[in-house]
Structure formats: structure tokens, C-alpha cells
Amino acid sequence: MVQMPAVNTPQFDWVLNRLHGRARPVAPVYQPELAARAVRFAADHPGRREYWVGGSTAAALIANALAPGLFDRYLARTGIDAQQEQDRTRRGDERDNLWSPGDSERDHGAHGRVDTDARDHSAQLWASQHHRLLAAGGAAVLGAAAGAAAHGRRPR
């Protein structure tokens, strides 16, 4: 399973929207290529049950595991506003894809309108993909610290 963050796709331009403002992905937003690389990596490395993409995904999953009720209340308070453009104005030419495809006339591609805000890398995803290397590095640091501490306690 690949747990995804908000991804900059065109779906927010044609999703049926009854909110006051234009729909948008909740920040931080990541580029679709990052999501695609994560899915491909997971398919090529099926030994793990889950891969998390983005620090916001990791934070949300951990918060939900530790304090689900508190996290639910936080999302109830912030979720609606976080899914709308801040200027709260809607364009008159917005169409939805409820009854017909939103891209039947042309292919809109994979990118949405928040390209300038979207991230194309994730340190958390890199760490998820290289957890053995990080574990080995952590063990080496702990070993060095233990060695230094033992060396400091030797009688002189």
C-alpha cells in the first residue's frame, strides 16, 4: 500500500464543488511524478506492507494512530478551509465531471494548477526507500557513541 499526500493533479479543476472557494489539494502538495515513482518503487519492492510518501502523510498517519479522536477534531476544524483557495472566489467557467468526463475534449495531463507550490522531492520517501541504510547508519552512530562513552570511563 502506498499512502499518498496531496498530489497536484487536474482533478481539482473539475471536481463538483459546492464550497465557497475553488477546490485545491491540502498543502503541502507534491508533484504527480513523485507519487508515480513511489508506486513504481513499491511495485518493484513488494516486501514491505506500506510505503509513506511525504512528511505530511507520515505525520497524519502517526497522529491518527496515537490520538485518533484529537486528530479527527483537528481535521473537522481545519479540513474545509484547507481544501479551498484562500481568495474564496470561483471562476464562472468551472465545469464538473460528475456526469461526463472532465477531459473529453483534450488531455489535461497529470499536473494541476498548483505547480509553483508543489514539491518534487520528499526526504521522508527517500528514508522510506532506504530504511536499511538509515538503520545501518544509526547503528554505526550508536556504536561509535557507545565506544566513545566506554573509552571515557576507562581508569587512567
Distances (CA, A) of 108 to 31, 95, 101: 15, 14, 11
pLDDT (0 to 100) of residue 89: 61
pLDDT of 35 strictly over 90: yes
pLDDT (0 to 100) of residue 154: 62
* Residues 111/8, Cβ–Cβ less than 8 Å: yes
Residue type at position 92: G
Does the predicted TM-score (pTM) go above 0.85? no
* Closest to 35 measured CA to CA, from 97, 108, 118: 118
pLDDT (0 to 100) of residue 156: 61
pLDDT (0 to 100) of residue 155: 65
Domain ranges of the chain: 2-88+118-152
Distances (CA, A) of 2 to 26, 90, 131, 134, 138: 18, 33, 16, 20, 25
Q: pLDDT tens digits, residue range 123-145?
A: 888 888 888 888 888 888 888 88
Q: At 85, phi and psi to the nearest 5?
A: -60, 145
pLDDT of 29 strictly over 90: yes
Q: pLDDT tens digits, residue range 75-128?
A: 899 988 888 887 656 565 566 777 777 667 777 788 988 888 899 888 888 888
